[in-house]
Amino acid sequence: MPHLFSAPRGRFEAVRLPPSRYLAVDGAGNPNDSPEYRLAVEALYTAAYALKFISKAGGTDYTVPPLEGLWWAQDPDVFLRREKHLWSWRMMIFIPPFAGSVAVEEAMATLVRKKPAASGMVRTVTLEEDLVLQTLHVGSYDDETPVLRQLHEEIMPAGGWTFNGHHHEVYLSDPRRTVPGRLKTILRQPVRQKG
């Protein structure tokens, strides 16, 4: 499903996305220094790799999709000011359409066995964003501000768009193995026409 994991660099495009299922964990606070955030990401990957191996044993192999995040706050300007301690988040990993409910339940059971501390953290959600504006950002996460400011203050007003869901990021690079200046992140905003 390449439309879920690609976007043009240097411009925003409008795309309609189908409803999609995810493994997900909710939390709040600065992701850079939150133990809860670290545990959430570890739990997601444990469940996602368990699902991959269960699917592979059933005859369908695939690459584990990238980590994704929904980000929100009572005041959206905290993102432009990078006040991360005020952020709420939902970290997610896409569930391929061919992975059935039984396989997902088995993956969750594997997570509980491997990481008892993560018991009850991961759940499945269906995301129905429909129409989004998205672009590919290359660089540090902290360098997203000018791109988001352009989206919020220029592109959305010019197109008559308003917010229709949480800010969404798709992390195409592994920050443990990629220098900040080369990180690739899809910045995605669900929108609707005003009025």
- R_g of the chain, CA atoms, integer Å: 17
Residue-level pLDDT at 78: 84
pLDDT digits (tens, 9 = 90+) for 64-117: 999 999 999 988 788 878 899 999 999 999 999 999 999 999 999 999 999 998
For the chain, give the percent of residues with pLDDT over 90: 84
Alpha helices in 27-186 (DSSP H): 35-57, 77-80, 101-114, 145-150, 156-159
- At the top level of CATH, the class of 20-127 is alpha beta
Phi then psi dihedrals of residue 88, to 5 deg? -110, 150
Q: Do domains 1-17+128-195 and 20-127 have the same CATH topology?
A: yes
What number is the average pLDDT over the span 103-132? Answer: 94
Residue boundaries of the structural domains of the chain: 1-17+128-195, 20-127
27 pLDDT tier (thresholds 50, 70, 90) = very high
- Model pTM score: 0.94
Residue-level pLDDT at 163: 94
172 pLDDT tier (thresholds 50, 70, 90) = very high
195 pLDDT tier (thresholds 50, 70, 90) = confident
The two tokens of residue 36 are: 């809860």
Give the CA-trace dihedral at 16, 171, 181, 133, to 10 degrees.
20
CATH code linked to domain 1-17+128-195: 3.20.80.10
For the chain, give the percent of residues with pLDDT over 70: 99
Indicate the average pLDDT of the chain: 94
CA–CA dist 105, 5 (Å, integer): 25
Residue-level pLDDT at 154: 96
pLDDT digits (tens, 9 = 90+) for 179-193: 999 999 999 999 999
CA–CA dist 169, 152 (Å, integer): 15
C-beta separation of 108 from 36 below 8 A:
no
